[in-house]
Structure 1
């Protein structure tokens, strides 16, 4: 039971957990005789270059997050400085708790985590600006092991699954990963 509980908690390390990006869809009202045509939506206030820069910064933050998580998990260090460099709350706290719980149970992460992220939406006009990321994580070679014996913790086998994340631009201009989710029930 203890190994299974640890497995669920440790899996949250991979949770690059994101708030789902919803888009509003609707039909433009049809104009009828004698009424003025509907006003068109205001033009976006950002350029293609702004959007491209946001995509690149968000993907860089995401890659940094994965690298920092792997390093911190391998060392059993929930306060590794790179975590705060790429993550923001509430995800930062979740990742730190997951690493701490694994360490308290004598476990750590080892191996390779393969990522193939893509940006699914950019919302520069929202407050704060966000970028949604979708990833196919291959965690089949990323294992939770007992630190002393290096034996795999039962019930913690990795899978290839969908993960989502939200990158948020903070007032100081940094893009940080603030939310994420591992969708282990959705293989990719």
Structure 2
């Protein structure tokens, strides 16, 4: 009887954590509210330079998002301040809820993620400006474990899957990751 309860808890934890890479992505097609962009009264810079700067800022935000999520998950801290430095809603709320759910079930994430992101689209003329990112996210070394004894939660194995994210430029000039999806049906 107890084994069945533990198995059910492990499946629940896997479902919660599998909702997103690094506890953060859903199925991908949900509607996303985005903030209004700041009004630019200045003339535009060289489009190639502006595009390269946007790509770099978006990739930096994505890298920060993965690291902040990994760190917060490892500490079971859904309110870790580093999360809001790199992630915006609605993704921020999903990440926080996922970390909290794992914590409530006595689990946490350990290990490292391997990431190889690339920019797939840059939209600087939209309000707000966005950059789309695609990644082959390797979670084989990133495990869901029981916090008490560090044993791996059954059925929570990782793998290499396509992950997508959207970086949005906010009125204060910061690029934050506002949405993301792990595509478990698309190995890489």
Fold-level match, TM-score > 0.5? yes
Aligned-pair CA distance for 1:13? 4.1
Q: Does the Cα contact within 8 Å between 2:54 and 2:131 map onto a contact in 1?
A: yes
TM-score, length-scaled by structure 2:
0.84
Higher CA-based Rg: 1
Correspondence list, 1:4-153, <5 A: 4-14=11-21, 15-16=24-25, 47-153=47-153
- Aligned partner of 1:154 in structure 2 is 154
Aligned-pair CA distance for 1:51? 0.4
Q: Does the Cα contact within 8 Å between 1:12 and 1:95 map onto a contact in 2?
A: no
Aligned-pair CA distance for 1:159? 0.8
* 44-53 vs 113-122, which moves further: 44-53
Q: Could you say what secondary structure the match of 2:186 adopts?
A: coil
What runs of 5+ residues in structure 2 fail to find an aligned partner? 1-7, 31-43
Aligned-pair CA distance for 1:81? 0.5
TM-score, length-scaled by structure 1:
0.84
* Aligned length, in residue pairs: 165
* Counterpart Cα distance in 1 of 2:29 and 2:174: 19
Q: Could you say what secondary structure the match of 1:114 adopts?
A: coil
What runs of 5+ residues in structure 1 fail to find an aligned partner? 21-43
- Aligned partner of 1:36 in structure 2 is none
Q: Could you say what secondary structure the match of 2:127 adopts?
A: coil
* Counterpart Cα distance in 1 of 2:15 and 2:154: 11
Aligned-pair CA distance for 1:143? 0.2
Aligned-pair CA distance for 1:5? 1.4
Q: Could you say what secondary structure the match of 1:186 adopts?
A: strand
